[in-house]
Amino acid sequence: MAAPRLLAQAGATPTHHGAIVGHGEFRYRVDKLWCQADKAKHPVKDCHEMVQSADGRLFLITNLKQNNVLVFDVAGKVLDAWTLGLSAGHGLTLHREADGTEYLYLTDNSGRVIKATLDGKAVLELPHAQKCGAYSDKEPYSPTETAIAPSGDIYVADGYGSQYVLRFDKSGKYLSKFGGKSTQPTNPGKFMQAHGVAIDTRGPEPLLVCTERVRNEFNWFNLEGKHVRGVYLHGAYVSRPVIAGKHLYSGVCFGAKLDDTRMWQGRGFVTILDEHDRVVSNPGGQEPKYVDGRLQLMLQDQPVFNNCHDVCVDTRGDLYVCQWASGNVYPYKLHRLV
């Protein structure tokens, strides 16, 4: 196996390139030079989310119309690029159907959710929430993420709109919704910012795990929308949940300060939770600490990242961190230390 590319030309090494981050069994070497994209040919603004297909390719969604999706190999080489003309590409979910065929679900903040083949052919578009009976014409709709249940039902998080999670069947027919906007500090089942969703199959039955970013929470629901449990991550304004093996990974988009726990840009890191909802590592952040079973305030430790919008976990356990509003940077790779 080739060694990670952790060397650069003299004078060109980015700050914190090669740094060791993380804790316990989840420690990583930072590779800021992983991406080999030509900025002139494949520019990015915000790298929102990334997923890996069964053949090992990595798919990245950006919010530039000319290249909604960039496709990489694990060494950082661009293999393909395509667009569906989305003006605000945000969410990217990969789903493998019963026959083994994989599809991407692209979510655009302007109100579009499209199912596409891996080479960029659209095969289904969900109806707008105001057109299918889910919303009135006065309720804003700005979806951020999707999750696909084992049944094929599609869950859409309206994280920048009216804060519902909408449910559609696999053909795109609207079925139901749950949640809605909350202004309460604690209000299980309602959201201030339902930013991300994922299907969690680690337990006896599949659950839908939803990000409540403004309240530093993940909340789990059954597939009918009934609240099951939640976990509070003090100081971590988390993005979407990513389930890999027995763990949940998430990019912390905004962080806190020791004397001010409001949302602060430029203080992101990655957080990793085990199957008992306990934080076991914070790459780029301080080591998680529990006192009397209570998680203490989590803060950025090393300024490796600015605003972590997503983390992709590959088959080797390496991570790829996508960032929002961070100077048009491509994803960084974190090589896991074993």
Q: What is the CATH number of the domain that holds 233?
A: 2.120.10.30
Residue 226 has pLDDT above 90, yes or no: yes
Its pTM stands at: 0.95
Max Cα separation, the chain? 60
- For residue 207, give its domain range: 20-336
The single residue listed with the structure tokens 């914190």 is 16
Given this model, what pLDDT does residue 223 score?
98
| Average pLDDT score over residue span 61-75 | 96
Say if residues 164 and 176 touch (Cβ distance below 8 Å).
Answer: no
Q: Residue 234's beta-bridge partner residues?
A: none
Reported as a pLDDT band with limits 50, 70 and 90, residue 12 is: confident
- Output 128 or 183, whichever has higher pLDDT: 128
Dihedral in degrees, nearest 10, Cα atoms 15, 17, 18, 21: 80
Given this model, what pLDDT does residue 184 score?
81
Lowest mean pLDDT across 3-17, 24-38, 155-169, 235-249: 3-17
Residue 2 has pLDDT above 90, yes or no: no
Given this model, what pLDDT does residue 151 score?
96
Reported as a pLDDT band with limits 50, 70 and 90, residue 185 is: confident
- Averaged pLDDT of the chain: 95
| Average pLDDT score over residue span 59-75 | 96
318 within domain boundaries = yes
Given this model, what pLDDT does residue 248 score?
98
Closest CA to 236 of 194, 296, 185, 299: 299
Reported as a pLDDT band with limits 50, 70 and 90, residue 10 is: very low
Say if residues 157 and 145 touch (Cβ distance below 8 Å).
Answer: yes
Given this model, what pLDDT does residue 312 score?
98
8 within domain boundaries = no
Residues above pLDDT 70, as percent of the chain:
97
51 within domain boundaries = yes
130 within domain boundaries = yes
Residue 186 has pLDDT above 90, yes or no: no
Dihedral in degrees, nearest 10, Cα atoms 27, 32, 34, 37: 150
4 within domain boundaries = no
Q: What is the pLDDT of residues 303-319, one digit of tens each?
A: 999 999 999 999 999 99
Reported as a pLDDT band with limits 50, 70 and 90, residue 183 is: confident
Cα separation of the two ends of the chain: 14
Q: What is the pLDDT of residues 233-271, one digit of tens each?
A: 999 999 999 999 999 999 999 999 999 999 999 999 999
Reported as a pLDDT band with limits 50, 70 and 90, residue 7 is: very low
Given this model, what pLDDT does residue 124 score?
98
Given this model, what pLDDT does residue 180 score?
97
d(CA 283, CA 334): 9
257 within domain boundaries = yes
7 within domain boundaries = no
Say if residues 46 and 64 touch (Cβ distance below 8 Å).
Answer: no
12 within domain boundaries = no
Residue 128 has pLDDT above 70, yes or no: yes
Reported as a pLDDT band with limits 50, 70 and 90, residue 9 is: very low
d(CA 250, CA 218): 10
Reported as a pLDDT band with limits 50, 70 and 90, residue 4 is: very low
Q: How many domains does the chain have?
A: 1
